[in-house]
Amino acid sequence: MTHAAALRQLAADLGLSRPRLRRDGTVIIHSDEAGYRAVTRLSAFASQLIGTYVHVITDDVPGATDAREM
Kindly indicate the confidence band of residue 11, based on its pLDDT and cuts at 50, 70 and 90. Answer: very high
Region 21-48: what's the mean pLDDT?
90
Per-residue pLDDT tens digits for 36-56: 899 999 999 999 999 999 999
Sequential DSSP letters for the chain: -TTHHHHHHHHHHTTEEEEEEETTS-EEEEE-SSSSHHHHHHHHHHHHHHTS---EEETTSTT-SSEEE-
Q: pTM of this prediction? A: 0.81
How far lies 7's CA from each of 4, 61, 62, in Å?
5, 20, 22
Tell me the domains of the chain and their CATH numbers.
4-69 (3.30.300)
CA distances from 4 to 21, 62, 70 (A): 9, 23, 6
Give the type of residue at 61.
Answer: V
